[in-house]
Amino acid sequence: MTTTDTLRPVSERRPNSYDPATRRRTARAHLPGLPPTATSTPRRRGPTTLFEVPFASAMSDGDVALLVRTLDLTTHMYPKLHRSPTSPGVVRLDHHSGLFLERGSVEGVWVLEARTWGQPAAKSIHEWHVLAVGAARMLDPIVPIPERLPTVLRVYPVRPLGRTASRRSARIRRHILGL
């Protein structure tokens, strides 16, 4: 940078060619096949909440131990120096999803909240919901049970077995041979 550049205001200075953001913008502007970054659709950041299971509990050491055993929960219930902004507990459900234990808005109310950064299958979400409700019902029996998923009956072709199968194949064999 020259001495005249240092005397100019920052807004009037030439862009630094070593700045990665500037290089990305200028490189994108000169490539004919790429759309400009301003018109590209922004990707949504952050997790998506799948479900919440609120329950009431004093959250004593026995209650925490029950949740830890039932859900394989990793807990951070007692921050050492200050009130921690992190969740008091977390369970990893899959590579992109987790079940978080959160304090409710009222004292004595807790929430198990499932969040995902991916796109899990509906069956997996339902299984996680049932698991979370089961753990919450151990501490608060009035937690509502989720509805069942609609079952899809698969139709399998019926193949004859045993003597019926051999008769049928014998009939087909006679037909082919012309007997």
What residue segments make up the domains of the chain, in order of their start? 1-42, 48-139
Check residue 21 and give its pLDDT: 52
Q: How many CB atoms lie within 10 A of CB 116?
A: 19
Check residue 177 and give its pLDDT: 77
Is the pLDDT reported for residue 29 higher than 60? no
Q: Which of 46-55, 57-66, 161-170 comes out lowest in average pLDDT?
A: 161-170
% of the chain at pLDDT higher than 70 = 62
Check residue 159 and give its pLDDT: 64
Considering the domain 48-139 in this protein, what is its CATH number?
3.30.160
Distance separating alpha carbons of residues 30 and 160, to the nearest angstrom: 68
CA atoms within 13 A on the CB side of 158: 2
Q: What's CA 2's distance to the chain center, in Å?
A: 52
Distance separating alpha carbons of residues 71 and 101, to the nearest angstrom: 11
Whether 48 contacts 115, CB under 8 Å: yes
Closest to 113 in 3D by CA, of 95, 130, 90, 96: 90
Whether 163 contacts 170, CB under 8 Å: no
Check residue 4 and give its pLDDT: 55
Q: What three-state secondary structure class fits 5? A: helix
Helix (H) or strand (E) segment spanning residue 172 = helix 163-177
Task: Extract the tokens encoding 82.
Answer: 């200050």
Distance separating alpha carbons of residues 162 and 148, to the nearest angstrom: 38
Q: What three-state secondary structure class fits 28? A: helix
Closest to 97 in 3D by CA, of 125, 69, 126, 74: 125
Check residue 111 and give its pLDDT: 94
| 73-106 residue pLDDT tens | 887 666 555 555 556 788 888 999 999 999 888 9
